[in-house]
Amino acid sequence: MSSVIRPYGDTTGDGMVQVSFTLPIAHDKKAEGAALQLAAKMGLDPAMLVHAKQMGDGFTFFVVYGRVNHLVELDKVQVVERDFPLLSAKEVNTAVKQKMRRKLSVVGATIGTDAHTVGIDAILNVKGIAGEKGLEYYRELKVVNLGAQVTVPDLVEAARKEKADAVLVSQVVTQRDAHLHNTREMSAAFREAMPAAKRPLLIVGGPRFDELMAGDLGVDRVFGRGTTPSEVASYLVHRLITQKAATAAQEKAVK
């Protein structure tokens, strides 16, 4: 496969793309002209306006279709690949029971002013998502879902009380990078409150997170959109059981 590709619209490699955006202007001919001007400055040539609709007082939503000359260099694309095996619920339960000899404790929440629990509920609640049951379904996992708008101090205290092995935080509200600020505040609070040896895994997820930013945000893992409960459960086993066992074996061999 070629390492350089172009967008596909009507024919292979024609460079056609479709973009949508909102401008703070009422819908009229001038607004449509402004949308096309913006599209041209974005590199769409020619740009065609295919949809425009006023959204409330003084805002218009646009969809523009056009050609770009940009190329995608696949060799330079960076992503976070799954570096652990995907386990079934039975395999997760067996690993936890045999290796930890206690239930794996998980605390979850949305933090700050974020009132959207759809993300954390999809991972934690029994009903789950996309045909998969959430972590509450796993009999060897003890799950505490704190719900929405939890303060960082309350989250740290709950993690301490539950002796959490992992803390899962979902962030959907992203205006003014609220999800990034909240995550950095959380990771700093856990570093201050607990020594590294007793600190739980810190895991965040949401549709606008960049999975490459885990280190910058001070967390152990970032999960993006489309993440399923089995992926999270498998990751917990990988980090808390498999990886720890491998590290212990290496240290023993060195001695």
Which residues are identified as catalytic? 127
Q: Residue 126: what residue type?
A: V
Separation of alpha carbons 194 and 1, rounded Å = 49
Nearest residue to 96 via CA among 160, 144, 139, 158: 139
Beta-bridge partners for 49: 64
Residues near 41 by Cβ (< 8 Å), separated by ≥ 6? none
* Angle, vertex CA 95, rays to CA 92 and CA 97, nearest 5: 105
Separation of alpha carbons 125 and 135, rounded Å = 7
Separation of alpha carbons 250 and 242, rounded Å = 13
Separation of alpha carbons 192 and 204, rounded Å = 19
Radius of gyration in angstroms for the set of CA atoms belonging to the chain, rounded to a whole number = 23
Q: What is the DSSP letter of 254?
A: H
Nearest residue to 83 via CA among 195, 251, 241, 234: 234
How many beta carbons lie within 10 A of that of residue 179, not counting itself? 26
- Please give the structure tokens belonging to residue 245: 């066992």
Separation of alpha carbons 18 and 4, rounded Å = 20
